[in-house]
Structure 1
Amino acid sequence: MTNAIDARHTQVAEAPVSLGAPTAIERIARFVSSVDPADMDDLTIRAAARAFADTFAVSVGARRDPLTGVLRTWTAGEGGAGTIWAGVVPAGCTEERAAHINAAMAHVLDFDDASTVMRGHPSAVLFPAIVAVGESSKATGREVSAAYSVGFEVWMKIARAVSTEHYKLGWHATATLGTIAAAAAVSNLLRLSETEVARALGIAVSQASGTRQAFGTMAKSYQVGAAAAAGLQAARLAQAGLTSSPDALDAAEAGFLALYCVPGARELLDAHLATLGEAPGELLARGVEVKRFPLCYATHRAIALALELREEHSLNAEDIVRVEVETNAHGMEPLIHHRPMTGLEAKFSMEFAVAAALIDGAVRLRSFDTEDVQRPEIQALLRRVVGHEGPGDLNPRWTTMTIQTRDGAVITRTMHDLKGSAQQPLDDTELLAKVVDCYQYAGLEADDGRRFATTCLDWADVDIRELVRSSGVA
């Protein structure tokens, strides 16, 4: 099979990356440069297609978000071939800017997919970076799937070694690890040589940044966009000849692991890289967790419990004295807003999530309009919700809810598996319904959403640029 990008990029014979024991970057580069789209199996292609349909749809739903006005101002008059999926910058922009804006839009509603292992959101970073390059090269769904699976694999291996402690230190893992993974993904799409991929990864390490203090503000989505753009830029710069350190990840004193993580990360990464690329691959073995509710994934089991108990016990807010939510270890870390007054703050509030579910019987995109967040009944009930972490580890995830009512009743239930998780994935009908919901929330036609999703799920030989153009949005 001829890769459309190969025709534009002629590889030259190069010396091996190094003559000694390979560094972490060199081991990753060997894997990235070895993956051929022609070898992609149907299950991997379909998994990537489903993830893209979800990611594109939530970026479309973000058309109503105030962030769109900021982005229009930022890109005014820029021009270029890059396509903005949500159509908020119709004149187009540069490749890097397209990656940045599409990633920010995919993430701002916090409706994009997640990964517990990564402590982050893979698709919102990876697809915008890949597609920004793929549009100009007429890449097919198969080629996009290969690049996505490569980025996902690299991200997962690094995350398995560092994510829990890295995240606990305050780093926004989607932005930091995502930059490195995006560089790997775009490098694969560009068919870079092993040496070039190693350079791209080193450049990406130089740009990895973002902290959790931004949660509940537009800067969180900006960080996700910056990761996509930086990863893309790293691959392009490596292709142009920019050099970087092959020790950038695991150098003892000044490498990424030494600076951003805790002692022992180097040894853990070394162990996890031993299985890099082994079948069936991380995308199929672990998968993504597709959200049913548009807010931080750490709240989702609590929401599901609240909805179940509300219906089964006919609960009214006035009758509830106290709601206690206990989560797995580290389950409360991203939920930093306890008295939210804006939609973005509410997306990182356990108290709001539970109150909205109990009062409204649903948590929807419109639940995060400012006037809805500030409703007196919501603000009153969220003050009776308390959350804390239980013992153990991050995985497996679980949540226990205990509700006390005025008549003295105490209702308790625990939830482990969650619909939309890798263990209980949404079926195609449920995914299609989510796509349509995002389109309609954005004021677009439901039929356009259905057509886009249907085409996307069979995208192996589809030109990605044509898919985006036929979405009814861009």
Structure 2
Amino acid sequence: MVEPTALTASQRIARFSRVFDPRVLQAELRRQVGRALIDTAGIALAGHGEPASLAIRRYTGGRRDTRSFATAWGLGAARSAEDAALYNGVAGHVLDYDDVNSPLRGHPSIALLPPLVALAEARDLDGIQLASAYAMGFEVMVRLARAMVHDHYAKGWHATTTLGTIGASVACCHLLRLSEAQTVNAIGLAVAQASGTRGNFGTMAKSFQTGHCGASAIRAALLAELDVDGAIDALDGPEGFTSLYGHGEDLNEAMDSLGVDTLELERSGIEIKKYPMCYAAHRSIDGMLALRDTHGLHADAVTAVHVRANRRATVPLIHDHPKTGLEGKFSMQYAMAAALLDGHVRLSSFTDDAVQRPAAQALMQKIRCTEDDGPETPRWNTLAVTLVSGDVLHKEIRALRGSADCPLDDEELREKWRDCLSHAGAADHGDAFFASALALQQTSVRELMSKLPIVA
């Protein structure tokens, strides 16, 4: 009987790569590789004048054009639009504090704004154009989500970046005023790049996925602008997005009402997070903080905590026993421990040291989280906190702070903005940007970005 290996496939591949000695490769095999290189390079030379080759040549050459540069947020440095979207998409998501849309089961602005701001800055466009493009991308993302996101997300896809790449590409096309045919092509090019797995949650790769999403959207739009084409049925064809990433869902209903129904930006809206971690834990955080305040609750008085939620409500919370700050952002157990121990859940809650402290690690062992088999919506959480005395405190939470039904007001948003600046070491700056962003229609994107504080 063969003993199962403890190594993952990735580990085994990496190990083989490390120990393989190129000197053992037979001469005939080396000759075959050389033949393949001759063949491939020859074909590339023959195809140098084809439209796709010319378009890619112009595209990559444009990276050196300073007129296409955009701001890497907070760094005081210029990047190509694509590279700015990559950096800004990573930096803007790594704390998992960015906004959410519930039907999307993801983060709309981190998919849309890094590419749109970069392109608008590079092309010297204004805030009105930016806002219009954002609304367009938001509409596409959420409509696709309504048609397919539940099984898509449950299967393991990172909807922010899969659906986001498509929505952001359409938004970029709208911003650049590309033709219908070019926008169709951009969608095909977006599907060619749409990626992201929930398996990367709790690692740096999760925020890379959002950065890659924005860079991919710009790439799709700029290539389409140069008339690189894509399949016209890239979304709903037999080998299209819904077939490969879903279960062949019918998109007709979602698309039939485009331009007729209320815009999703109004209908479902943008939800600004109150806590810097996965949104799936926020109701329970509110509940635990309320119990703590009402009953003067302390961790040493608690023997067990049971969190219950709707079916699939806790799918993103994949780390029951986190060891790092990033893993803690996807842990209901740590969310409850931090709220109970500290009386708050802030940016400072998610350092490695905060997660690894013995009190938190011990308390997490007392916390379990389960889902009901009933309907997925409307969302709710319940807490049952068992005390040393044997008493059990109960709390049901349905409202979600920051949601479209319970939004943060401007002052709460300003408080969050200042907390973020303070965390970055720029506590005394940012008022000018805040004010200009609230009056987006009155400014150019270049002017707006010139007011963004430099923090590094």
Normalized against structure 2, the TM-score is what? Answer: 0.84
Match of 2:40 in 1: none
Match of 1:119 among 96, 101, 105: 105
Match of 1:270 among 238, 252, 256: 252
CA distance in 1, matches of 2:322, 2:195: 26
Q: What is the identity, as a one-letter code, of the residue corresponding to 2:384?
A: T
CA distance in 2, matches of 1:281, 1:175: 21
Query: Does residue 1:420 correspond to 2:402, yes or no?
Result: yes
Alignment check: 8 A CA contact 1:122 1:152 kept: yes
Alignment check: 8 A CA contact 1:86 1:105 kept: no
TM-aligned CA deviation for residue 329 of structure 1? 1.3
Match of 1:85 among 62, 73, 78: 73
CA distance in 2, matches of 1:365, 1:413: 25
Alignment check: 8 A CA contact 1:200 1:237 kept: yes
CA distance in 2, matches of 1:398, 1:451: 39
CA distance in 1, matches of 2:298, 2:283: 20
CA distance in 2, matches of 1:143, 1:441: 31
TM-aligned CA deviation for residue 138 of structure 1? 1.7
* Paired residue secondary structure (1:225): helix
CA distance in 2, matches of 1:349, 1:284: 31
Sort the Cα spacing of 1:93 and 1:362 in 2 relative to 1 into closer, same or farther, 3 A. same
Query: Does residue 1:391 correspond to 2:373, yes or no?
Result: yes
TM-aligned CA deviation for residue 331 of structure 1? 1.2
Q: What is the identity, as a one-letter code, of the residue corresponding to 1:239?
A: E
Alignment of 1:64-143 (within 5 A): 81-87=69-75, 90-143=76-129
CA distance in 1, matches of 2:453, 2:422: 12
Alignment of 1:152-163 (within 5 A): 152-163=138-149
TM-aligned CA deviation for residue 292 of structure 1? 0.5
Match of 2:422 in 1: 440
Alignment check: 8 A CA contact 1:290 1:421 kept: yes
CA distance in 2, matches of 1:278, 1:457: 28
Alignment check: 8 A CA contact 1:153 1:277 kept: no
CA distance in 2, matches of 1:276, 1:365: 39
Query: Does residue 1:409 correspond to 2:397, yes or no?
Result: no
CA distance in 2, matches of 1:340, 1:228: 29
Alignment check: 8 A CA contact 1:78 1:93 kept: no
TM-aligned CA deviation for residue 397 of structure 1? 1.4
Which deviations, in whole Å up to 9, do the C-alpha atoms of 1:274-331 show, x marking residues without a partner? 1113353100111011101000000000100000001101111011010000111111
CA distance in 2, matches of 1:392, 1:451: 48
Match of 1:238 in 2: 224
Match of 1:379 in 2: 361
TM-aligned CA deviation for residue 92 of structure 1? 2.1
CA distance in 2, matches of 1:428, 1:445: 18
Alignment check: 8 A CA contact 1:337 1:348 kept: yes
Q: What is the identity, as a one-letter code, of the residue corresponding to 2:274?
A: R
CA distance in 1, matches of 2:140, 2:383: 36
Match of 1:209 in 2: 195
Alignment check: 8 A CA contact 2:74 2:453 kept: no
Match of 1:468 in 2: 449
Match of 1:258 in 2: 243
Alignment check: 8 A CA contact 2:430 2:451 kept: no
Query: Does residue 1:226 correspond to 2:212, yes or no?
Result: yes
CA distance in 2, matches of 1:201, 1:393: 33
Quote the RMSD (CA, aligned, Å).
1.5
CA distance in 1, matches of 2:166, 2:77: 29
Match of 1:178 among 132, 149, 164: 164
Alignment check: 8 A CA contact 2:74 2:452 kept: no
Sort the Cα spacing of 1:438 and 1:78 in 2 relative to 1 into closer, same or farther, 3 A. farther
Query: Does residue 1:342 correspond to 2:330, yes or no?
Result: no
CA distance in 2, matches of 1:393, 1:100: 37
Q: What is the count of residue pairs matched by the alignment?
A: 391
Gaps of 5+ in 1: 1-76
Sort the Cα spacing of 1:272 and 1:353 in 2 relative to 1 into closer, same or farther, 3 A. same
* Paired residue secondary structure (2:79): coil
Alignment check: 8 A CA contact 2:165 2:217 kept: yes
Sort the Cα spacing of 1:78 and 1:198 in 2 relative to 1 into closer, same or farther, 3 A. closer
TM-aligned CA deviation for residue 78 of structure 1? 12
CA distance in 1, matches of 2:409, 2:79: 35
Match of 2:348 in 1: 366
Query: Does residue 1:312 correspond to 2:298, yes or no?
Result: no
Q: What is the identity, as a one-letter code, of the residue corresponding to 2:194?
A: A
CA distance in 2, matches of 1:91, 1:100: 14
* Paired residue secondary structure (1:92): strand
Q: What is the identity, as a one-letter code, of the residue corresponding to 2:242?
A: L
Gaps of 5+ in 2: 1-63
Alignment check: 8 A CA contact 2:285 2:339 kept: yes
* Paired residue secondary structure (2:382): strand
Q: What is the identity, as a one-letter code, of the residue corresponding to 1:324?
A: H
* Paired residue secondary structure (1:192): coil
Identity across matched positions, percent = 43
Alignment check: 8 A CA contact 1:330 1:393 kept: no
* Paired residue secondary structure (1:102): helix
Match of 1:164 in 2: 150
Bigger Cα Rg:
2
Q: What is the identity, as a one-letter code, of the residue corresponding to 1:466?
A: E
Which deviations, in whole Å up to 9, do the C-alpha atoms of 1:327-381 show, x marking residues without a partner? 1111121111111110000000000000000110000001111111111111111
CA distance in 1, matches of 2:149, 2:310: 16
TM-aligned CA deviation for residue 391 of structure 1? 2.6
